[in-house]
Amino acid sequence: MKYLVTGGAGFIGSHIVDRLIKEKHLVTVYDNFSTGRELFIKHHLKNPNFKLIRADLNDLKLLTQSMKDVDFIFHIAAHADVKRGFSDHSIDHRENLEMTQNVLEAMYKNNIKKIAFSSTSSVYGDAKVHPTSEDHLLCPTSLYGATKAACEHYINAYASYYGMTSYIFRFASLLGERYTHGIIYDVLKKLKKNNKELILLSDGTPKKSSVYVLDGIDAMFTVIKKSKDQFNIYNIGHTQVLTINQIVDTIIKSAGYKKVKKKWLGKSSNWKGDNEFVLLSIKKLNKLSWKPKVTIELAIRKTVKYFKENQHLL
């Protein structure tokens, strides 16, 4: 099969590429390297099954040409800085929704029938039920969450019009090798500058579920292989959930720092649109015999180890 992975040089995308190449598929990575890194895909550059297109999804003509003879799209490219939508009301609309519409248009023109999409737990907003299942009301509290939910709907509308099969994955936070932004990155960067005092947003009580990236990738491939449905919406998360305080302690311990004084700025410092409790139900995935293999603590340790081995990423 021939696959195209948008954002294929990024954190999640590059792991998907590894898996596809391992399974002997033909893979095109389409990435503008705004957050993607050559480091994450350079081991494939000489593989004849691998092709790299360094371009922006904004270029609909090139995107359409790039999809020639492709069977399956992994649309992973996104603007993933959830905080920024509060100060810039158009960035998520442009970079998430409009680029997704370009992907769908290019698929339509090439008569491609399968798409997998990386959505997010943020589509639920402040969920009223935890663990939150896929049929929970969508009430996003950020433009990031709103545009990701909008992408899901556009994908399903095109899928309905043109008989495509859609695989939508609502991810909890992903951790692991090639992780490049988020709380672990922020904490390690601060500790690198000052390992005595760590100044932190919030009060440490919010609870956030995460999942190890290779477990997450495995969940995607499990759904794609086992589900027979045309429209697929699956949470990908973990039964475990840690408080931010527990996450920070695990990072500090994993990184080998001692006597770090944590200073919490309090709840008023939370960024607008954040959700204080994220725990996704993974019962739907369990029915396909998938469950995460790696604990959240181990996923944090693996992430910290990756940064130790790749200091230049900090």
Q: Which residues bind a second copy (CB under 8 A)?
A: 85-86, 89, 93, 97, 101, 104-105, 108, 123, 125, 134-143, 145-147, 149-150, 152-154, 156-158, 160-161, 231, 233, 272-273
Is the Cβ of residue 125 or residue 292 nearer to a second copy in the bound state?
125
Question: Least distance in Å: CB of 230 to a second copy?
Answer: 10
User: In the complex, what is the shortest distance from the CB of residue 162 to a second copy, in angstroms, rounded to a whole number?
Assistant: 9
- Pick between residue 19 and residue 84 the one whose CB is nearest to a second copy: 84
Give the residue with the Cβ less far from a second copy, 1 or 157: 157
The residue behind tokens 């957050």 is 35
Q: How far is the CB of 59 from a second copy (least distance, A)?
A: 17
Least Å distance, CB 92 to a second copy, is: 9
50 vs 144 by CB, closer to a second copy = 144
Shortest CB 149 distance to a second copy, Å: 5
Cβ nearer to a second copy, comparing 136 with 302: 136
How far apart CA 177 and CA 209 sit, in angstroms, is 18
**Nearer Cβ to a second copy (121/142):** 142
Task: State the minimum distance, in angstroms, from the CB of residue 161 to a second copy.
Answer: 5
